[in-house]
Structure 1
Amino acid sequence: MSDHSAPRPYPGQELTVGEVAERSGVAVSALHFYEREGLIHSRRTPGNQRRFRREVLRRLSFIRIAQRVGIPLAEIRSALDSLPDGRTPTRQDWETLSAQWRSELDDRIRRLQQLRDDFTGCIGCGCLSLDRCGLVNPHDRLSAEGPGPRRLAG
């Protein structure tokens, strides 16, 4: 049995892109994308292979959680760039950033609830014709606002 099959200790050691993908659950292609977007960083070995510091795992968790709640990558990058010396986010960093994002998320939830309610009300009557709907669009008054959907537009 060669030494390559034995697990290597991680403390203080850099990780390969495959190890980062395995430990984080993030596809290698996504890791490359995140690196191109400046969200994570690696160094290159003399053989041009990527090596990541272990802290990248926490950074990836931060990115994925923020994405999951709908924070755009540009805002995530901005938040990460705001950290001193490009450090890995701490629990306090997450609490601070998530508090800043909370009002935006609350607003997005409100807009989505309104969209859901409008969508249900529009389709729920069964007519599917806003120009004839006496409940949602009497006398086609929404046509004065221009072409395209009016009730479901953000």
Structure 2
Amino acid sequence: MTTVAWNAKELTVGQLSTRSGVAVSALHFYESKGLIRSRRTSGNQRRYSRDTLRRVAFIRLSQQVGISLGAIRDALSTLPAERTPTREDWARLSGGWRAELDHRILHLQQLRDDLTDCIGCGCLSLDNCLLANRYDKLGEEGPGPRRLLDAHPGSCATTVTCQPA
């Protein structure tokens, strides 16, 4: 494994890939989407400033919690290009996503809890259950698993006993 000197001001794409654990192709993709940037040498080789390591780490962590690349790009565009982002910069960015993440956590907990017992009402018989989705009424509300996506009154996801749909 090639190590990068701690005081190196710039990294090649290979060094950035090795140090960040992100494939070269992904780094090129991030660059094409405006998430990171490089300068070109006279030989047309990419060189990344060292603070790109932090940006790539931020991108990876943000993706792991489900933040879209567009939202990540928008957040990174508010960071100063002329200096390494500070702890306060990162706190401001991540704090902006707190409400969205809290909402996702709530939905994931709901999904986990509802799937433990059943998909709909608890009888586990989707073929025979008249309460699960009688006459496909939930299809009128939109695509997907409506009871898990929407916490509407009368849904199995929000009540102890199911009411006919």
Normalised by the length of structure 2, the TM-score is: 0.74
- The 3-state SS of whatever aligns with 2:100 is helix
* Partner in structure 2 of residue 91 of structure 1: 87
In structure 2, the CA distance between the partners of 1:86 and 1:108, relative to structure 1 (3 Å rule), is farther
* Partner in structure 2 of residue 127 of structure 1: 125
Q: Percent identity?
A: 57
Q: Which amino acid aligns with 1:89?
A: P
Q: List gaps (5 residues or longer) in structure 1.
A: 1-5
1:71 and 2:58 correspond: no
Contact 1:62 1:89 in 2 (8 A): no
1:63, CA displacement in angstroms? Answer: 1.2
Quote the Cα distance in structure 1 between the aligned partners of 2:68 and 2:102.
15
Q: Which amino acid aligns with 1:14?
A: E
Q: List gaps (5 residues or longer) in structure 2.
A: 151-165
Q: Which amino acid aligns with 2:77?
A: D
Superposed CA RMSD in Å reads 2.7
In structure 2, the CA distance between the partners of 1:101 and 1:144, relative to structure 1 (3 Å rule), is closer
1:126, CA displacement in angstroms? Answer: 2.4
In structure 2, the CA distance between the partners of 1:86 and 1:107, relative to structure 1 (3 Å rule), is farther
1:16 and 2:12 correspond: yes
Q: Which amino acid aligns with 1:143?
A: K
- The 3-state SS of whatever aligns with 1:51 is strand
Which structure has more helix as a fraction of its residues?
A: 1
**Which stretch has the larger CA shift, 143-152 or 72-81?**
143-152
Contact 1:118 1:151 in 2 (8 A): no
1:61 and 2:82 correspond: no
In structure 2, the CA distance between the partners of 1:82 and 1:64, relative to structure 1 (3 Å rule), is same
* Partner in structure 2 of residue 3 of structure 1: none
In structure 2, the CA distance between the partners of 1:134 and 1:117, relative to structure 1 (3 Å rule), is farther
1:83, CA displacement in angstroms? Answer: 2.1
- The 3-state SS of whatever aligns with 1:152 is helix
Quote the Cα distance in structure 1 between the aligned partners of 2:111 and 2:71.
24
Residues 12-60 of structure 1 deviation map (CA, whole Å, 9 limit, x = unaligned): 5321100110111111011000000001001111221111111111111
In structure 2, the CA distance between the partners of 1:144 and 1:95, relative to structure 1 (3 Å rule), is closer
Normalised by the length of structure 1, the TM-score is: 0.78
Q: How many residues align?
A: 145
Quote the Cα distance in structure 1 between the aligned partners of 2:29 and 2:138.
44
